[in-house]
Copies of this chain bind each other. A is one copy, B any other.
């Protein structure tokens, strides 16, 4: 069951949770980690289920969604390589607060919750890194909250795209590309609107040449114009 492939300590250096740690500690964390490939589409864990492992992504992408009792869902966050996910419940109530699905073929590291907790107890730097990571996400969530309460759908979608560029943007010939594969529904679920509204707005931007949409990827041709929409109107 458990992959016995030894985990390379150098791989851990790319994970924000282990930033600024001496090699010995990386070795220690690597010794307790387990590697696993995540084929596209795999459901990694379900909302409400006991947190059996704490996760970090070495490559690929993972979609974190949260559904309410009525079935309506939002996209809480997209996880890229080097990011952790499903780690907070280790320290709180022990239940995953959301669903996690691989959106491209990916590779993860994971730890037994008790092991990660022990690691954090021994090395406060890891715990401090985790506060910084979770704190940053909290700040983003509050920003989204404010936008959702006060701004129009097109501004929110523009902000969504800019944030995604920030997280996973890369230069291409005709603009900046978002490295995650995104459905219209994903955009809508991040921006807090419906598939239909998102589709209309993106189609309009595409007509105006702000945006190029290729199979499941978005390229922002004019980040400046996008900025302008995100700000004024």
Contacts and interface: CB of A to CB of B under 8 A. Distances in A.
B124 A120 contact: yes
Interface stretch (A27-35, A143-151, A160-168, A201-209): A143-151
A39 B137 CA distance: 32
Contact of A125 (B121, B132, B134): B121
A144 B147 contact: no
Interface majority SS (helix, strand, loop, mixed), chain A: helix
Assembly stoichiometry (copies): 2
Nearest to A156: B149
A50 to B, nearest CB: 16
Given A124-B120, A124-B122, A142-B76, A192 B132 contact: no
Given A91-B131, A135-B134, A137-B138, A68 B124 contact: no
A149 B69 CA distance: 14
B132 A92 contact: yes
A153 to B, nearest CB: 11
Nearest to A231: B69
Interface of A: 66, 68-70, 72-74, 76, 88-89, 91-92, 97-98, 117, 120-125, 127-128, 130-132, 134-139, 141-151, 189, 192-193, 231
24 contacts: A66-B142, A66-B143, A66-B146, A68-B150, A68-B151, A70-B150, A72-B150, A74-B145, A74-B146, A74-B149, A74-B150, A88-B131, A88-B139, A91-B128, A97-B142, A121-B124, A122-B124, A123-B124, A124-B124, A127-B131, A130-B131, A131-B131, A145-B148, A148-B192
